[in-house]
């Protein structure tokens, strides 16, 4: 796994609640292999009209946000399908961090497993940041995993993260390698319980 | 201390604990024709599948429902089907391929084959995996990378969810079924209302549901953000499971039933949250928007965004009405539809097809209408009962099993701008194809919409 410590970048705002993974990447692109690139599919039907032209009002089509490294979202971001292509499309576009209150759980797990940092500060703090990006879209936002804070201007807001996840992300540790080292315990568990 | 059913299953599957996360043993792992990232994870780690005997693969997302063989499909879909075939063969995993009589949508196949059993932990790279909770299993939808972890270790790291009990008491009114109950629950809780929770559905109205109905109910729990959902196993569950290909037999069956009887939550067990719903107040329910919690009784009217309780919902409702091309105040009963779809992991089971066929018998479809059985077994059973004739005689298309138009990944699409009454689980923007407009409904409501060409209170047809 790619390690993550700290990122300072411009941040695009997507304040709408309940943005589902079908919107992040429509199902018809799921038969593409992530290694062949998915950036062009990210938010495809929000970014492009039916005739293929760009919708200028969509966040990632705004000139200052085309290379945003951070996405700031409304609640329940990533709900719906468990498709990991949603994570790969975001990473491929260049997003390394998603900030949003109460993100959908499967999405957040998939993000962690693939080195996309998903952080959920308090809702009020996210609303404040969304408001700031509305008036000052060029604001640089810093996400510091070591100190567990999101910072912009003179503001600094904390976020909670599972300690094991934080450790894995900071060190770039692979979850599977850690579990494989516990194989004896799994074998003992299987032996002790018999068959289910 | 009295324990919830969730707590009992969680404790009996905990291999280790670290920093508040549990390493959970997984009893059953279902695979589909999805991204093969899960096998790439194994290859990168240089390990094999730990328990191929607990792993089962089927094809559902990419398969054509018009009988087109996989070889004749476009490259991406052909590769998806070929990949799972090759990976299953290489690792000794049972595969239910396109022409296999065991093939079908993974969440229909698991319970139907008796692979999904009470008290088991189940995972699958699909968000509707909580469906299997209908037989009393603890089932989680996970990502493909996590599936790789399960293939390699038969375990998964998980944060312990909170618990919620949703009690639906009393009796459902005549003509109101599990899908209506499920949509009503999602409407009541909201799209993220059960986030972080495992829901136990309980109460007399839930106990009165068939196992098929319980599977439908647990299936939709995903749409209110639940991590999983369950119904306690009972005599209905045991009668459903008895004699299925993978259920234990003989003495092992007696022992299993004995264990399963210990699973239900103990009297007095505490839940983090309790919700009570009166079954008598549930009506045939339809969605009007672009999120599964945007639902109303069929007697309702399209809501007015100006009357929304808060600014967030005002914006969301406006966006929904704009996408759905609906005007505030329009009665839902009577909205014209262009197409009807009956099928999916939500409503592709035999009972669903029977409910739809009862309405369709002796009538004609007024709009294009498809029936896609949830599995090859459901299809055979329906044909043995003559349901295919009922649908065909009414002008419906009777197709091969698969996910089909629910997720529109196999080329079965609602065309842009079309309005579809659908027995599926998601009315998201573009879910059934770019520009598609979905109304989530029960099988009976879908059947009524097909023969009238409109969203319709099916109870009127049944009486007429």
Among the partner-chain residues A23, A32, A82, the one whose CB lies closest to the CB of B428 is A23
pLDDT in tens, B276-315: 999 999 999 999 999 999 999 999 999 999 999 999 899 9
B145-157: buried (b, 16+ CB within 10 Å) or exposed (e) per residue?
Answer: bbbbbbbbbbbbb
Chain A positions touching B34 (Cβ under 8 A) are: 30
What's the topology of domain B285-463?
A: Aconitase; domain 3 (3.30.499)
Compare CB distances from A84 to B21, B37, B408 and report the shortest one's residue: B37
Nearest to B446 by CA among B424, B428, B413, B426: B424
**B19, B117, B192: best to mutate for the A interface, most A CBs within 10 A:** B192
Predicted local confidence at residue A193, as pLDDT: 87
Residues of chain B neighbouring A83 (CB-CB closer than 8 A): 35
Helix (H) or strand (E) holding A158: strand A155-158
Residue B316's CB is within 10 A of a number of other CB atoms, namely 23
- Residue of chain B with shortest Cα separation from A87: B143
CB contact under 8 A, B416 and A76: no
How much of chain B exceeds pLDDT 90, in percent? 98
Q: Do the beta carbons of residue A32 and residue A41 sit within 8 Å? A: yes
Tell me how far the alpha carbon of residue B36 is from its chain's centroid: 22
Q: Which of B54, B124, B145 to mutate to test the interface with A (most CBs of A within 10 A)?
A: B145
E strand map for B38-190: 55-58, 94-96, 121-124, 138-141, 155-159, 162-169
Please determine whether the domains at B5-273 and B285-463 fall in the same fold group of CATH: yes
CB nearest A50 (choices: B145, B319, B435)? B435
Give me the helix-helix angle, B37-45 and B75-91, nearest 10°: 40
Q: Kindly provide the b/e burial profile for residues A166-187, where b requires at least 16 CB atoms within 10 angstroms of the residue's own CB.
A: bebbeeeebbbeebbebeeebe
CATH classification (class only), B5-273: alpha beta
Residues 6 or more apart whose Cβ sits within 8 Å of residue B401: B60, B63, B65, B103, B104, B105, B108, B348, B372, B373, B374, B375, B376, B378, B379
Q: What is the nearest CA distance from B112 to chain A, expressed in angstroms? A: 18
What local confidence, expressed as pLDDT, does residue A19 receive? 96
Domain spans in chain B, listed from the N-terminal domain onward: 5-273, 285-463
- Radius of gyration of chain B measured on its C-alpha atoms: 21
Chain B environment of A87 (Cβ under 8 Å) = 143
Q: What ipTM did this prediction achieve?
A: 0.95
pLDDT (tens place) for every residue of chain B, 464 residues total: 999 999 999 999 999 999 889 999 999 999 999 999 999 999 999 999 999 999 999 999 999 999 999 999 999 999 999 999 999 999 999 999 999 999 999 999 999 999 999 999 999 999 999 999 999 999 999 999 999 999 999 999 999 999 999 999 999 999 999 999 999 999 999 999 999 999 999 999 999 999 999 999 999 999 999 999 999 999 999 999 999 999 999 999 999 999 999 999 999 999 999 999 999 999 999 999 999 999 999 999 999 999 999 998 999 999 999 999 999 999 999 999 999 999 999 999 999 999 999 999 999 999 999 999 999 999 999 999 999 999 999 999 999 999 999 999 999 999 999 999 999 999 999 999 999 999 999 999 999 999 999 999 999 997 76
Among A28, A163, A186, beta carbon nearest to B154: A186
Interface size A-B, in CB pairs within 8 Å, comes to 158
User: Taking the CA atoms of chain A, what radius of gyration do you get in angstroms?
Assistant: 18
**Rounded Cα gap, residues B120 and B51, in angstroms:** 15
> Each residue of B404-456: pLDDT tens digit?
999 999 999 999 999 999 999 999 999 999 999 999 999 999 999 999 999 99
- Give how far Cα A121 sits from Cα of A73, A107, B175, B326, Å: 11, 16, 45, 36
pLDDT of A196 above 60: no
* A182 vs B contacts (CB less than 8 Å): 15-16, 23, 153
Of B415, B420, B409, B405, whose CA–CA distance to B324 is shortest?
B420
Nearest to A196 among B41, B120, B407 (CB): B120
- Domain residue spans in chain A? 6-171
Chain A residues whose CB is inside 8 A of the B27 CB are 196
Q: Which of A33, A37, A105 to mutate: most B Cβ within 10 Å?
A: A105
The set of residues, in sequence order, having a beta carbon less than 8 Å from that of B286 and lying 6+ positions away, is B183, B295, B296, B297, B298, B332, B421, B439, B440, B441, B445, B455
**Residue B59 structure tokens:** 């094809």
Task: Say if the Cβ atoms of A23 and B430 lie within 8 Å.
Answer: yes
List the single residue in A with minimal CA-CA distance to B416.
A50
**pLDDT computed for residue A2 by the predictor:** 80
**Domain A6-171 classification at class level:** alpha beta
Chain B closest-CA separation from residue A99 CA (Å): 17
Contact B192 A196 (CB under 8 A): no
CB count, 10 Å around CB of B43? 12
* pLDDT score, position A194: 74
Give the integer Cα–Cα distance in Å for B19 and B30. 28
- Could you tell me the pTM of the whole model? 0.97
Instruction: Give the rounded distance of the alpha carbon of B88 from its chain centre.
Output: 24
Cβ distance B414 to B433 under 8 Å?
yes
pLDDT, position A1: 78
B341, B372 contact by CB (below 8 A): yes
Measure A96 CA to nearest chain B CA, in Å: 18
Q: What is the pLDDT of residue B464?
A: 62
Whether the Cβ atoms of residue B428 and residue A80 lie closer than 8 Å to each other: yes
Is the C-alpha dihedral spanning A9, A14, A17, A23 positive or negative? negative
Helix (H) or strand (E) holding B22: strand B21-25
What do you get for the CA distance between the two ends of chain B, in Å? 54
Contacts of A171 in chain B (CB under 8 A): none
Kindly state whether B154 is in contact with chain A, defined as any CB-CB distance less than 8 angstroms.
yes
């Amino acid at each position: 796994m790619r390690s993550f410590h700290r990122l300072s970048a411009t941040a695009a705002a997507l304040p709408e609640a309940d943005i589902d993974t079908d919107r992040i990447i429509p199902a018809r692109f799921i038969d593409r292999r992530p290694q062949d690139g998915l950036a062009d599919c990210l938010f495809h039907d929000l970014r492009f009209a039916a005739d293929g032209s760009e919708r200028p009002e969509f966040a990632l089509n705004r000139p200052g946000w085309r290379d945003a490294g951070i996405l700031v979202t409304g609640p329940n971001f990533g709900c719906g399908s468990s498709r990991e292509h949603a994570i790969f499309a975001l990473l491929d576009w260049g997003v390394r961090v998603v900030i949003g209150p109460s993100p959908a759980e499967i999405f957040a797990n998939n993000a962690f497993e693939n080195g996309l940092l998903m952080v959920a500060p308090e809702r009020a703090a996210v609303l404040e940041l969304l408001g700031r990006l509305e008036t000052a879209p060029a604001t640089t936002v810093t996400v510091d995993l070591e100190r567990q804070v999101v910072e912009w201007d003179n503001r600094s807001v904390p976020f909670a993260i599972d300690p094991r996840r934080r450790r894995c992300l900071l060190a770039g540790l692979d979850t599977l390698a850690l579990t494989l080292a516990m194989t004896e315990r799994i074998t003992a568990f299987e032996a002790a319980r018999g068959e289910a | 201390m009295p324990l919830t059913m969730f707590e009992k299953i969680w404790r009996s599957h905990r291999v280790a604990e670290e920093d508040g996360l549990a390493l959970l043993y997984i009893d059953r792992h279902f695979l589909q024709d999805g991204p093969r990232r899960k096998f790439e994870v194994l290859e990168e780690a240089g390990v094999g599948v730990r328990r191929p005997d607990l792993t089962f693969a089927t094809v559902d997302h990419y398969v054509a429902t018009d009988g087109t063989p996989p070889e004749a499909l476009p490259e991406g879909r052909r590769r998806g089907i070929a990949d799972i075939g090759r990976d299953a063969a290489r690792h000794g995993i049972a595969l239910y391929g396109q022409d296999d009589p065991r093939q079908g949508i993974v969440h229909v196949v698991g319970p139907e084959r008796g692979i999904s059993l009470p008290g088991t932990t189940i995972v699958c790279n699909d968000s509707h995996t909580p469906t299997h909770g209908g037989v009393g299993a603890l089932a989680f939808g996970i990502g493909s990378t996590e599936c790789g972890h399960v293939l390699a270790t038969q375990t998964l790291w998980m944060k312990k969810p909170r618990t919620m009990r949703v009690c639906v008491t009393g009796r459902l009114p005549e003509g109101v079924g599990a899908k209506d109950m499920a949509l009503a629950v999602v409407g009541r809780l909201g799209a993220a209302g059960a986030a972080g929770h495992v829901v136990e559905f309980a109460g007399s109205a839930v106990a009165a549901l068939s196992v098929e109905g319980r599977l439908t109910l647990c299936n939709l729990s995903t749409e209110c953000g639940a991590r999983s959902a369950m119904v306690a196993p009972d005599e209905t569950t045991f009668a459903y499971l008895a004699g299925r290909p993978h259920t234990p037999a003989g003495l092992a069956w007696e022992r299993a039933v004995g264990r399963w009887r210990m699973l239900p939550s103990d009297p007095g067990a505490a839940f983090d949250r309790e919700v009570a719903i009166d079954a008598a107040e549930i009506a045939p329910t339809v969605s009007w928007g672009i999120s599964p919690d945007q639902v109303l009784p069929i007697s309702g009217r399209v809501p007015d965004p100006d009357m929304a309780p808060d600014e967030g919902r005002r914006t969301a409702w406006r966006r929904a009405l704009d996408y759905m091309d609906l005007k505030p105040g329009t009665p839902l009963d009577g909205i014209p539809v262009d197409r009807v779809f009956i099928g999916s992991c939500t409503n592709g089971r035999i009972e669903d097809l029977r409910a739809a066929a009862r309405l369709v018998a002796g009538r004609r479809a007024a709009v294009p209408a498809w029936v896609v059985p949830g599995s090859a077994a459901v299809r055979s059973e329906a044909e043995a009962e003559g349901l295919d004739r009922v649908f065909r005689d009414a002008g419906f298309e009777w197709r091969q099993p698969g996910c089909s138009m629910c997720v529109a990944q196999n080329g079965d699409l609602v065309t842009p701008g079309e309005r579809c009454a659908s027995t599926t689980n998601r009315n998201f923007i573009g879910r059934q194809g770019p520009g598609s407009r979905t109304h989530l409904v029960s099988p009976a409501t879908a059947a009524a919409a097909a023969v009238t060409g409109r969203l319709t209170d099916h109870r009127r047809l049944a009486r007429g």
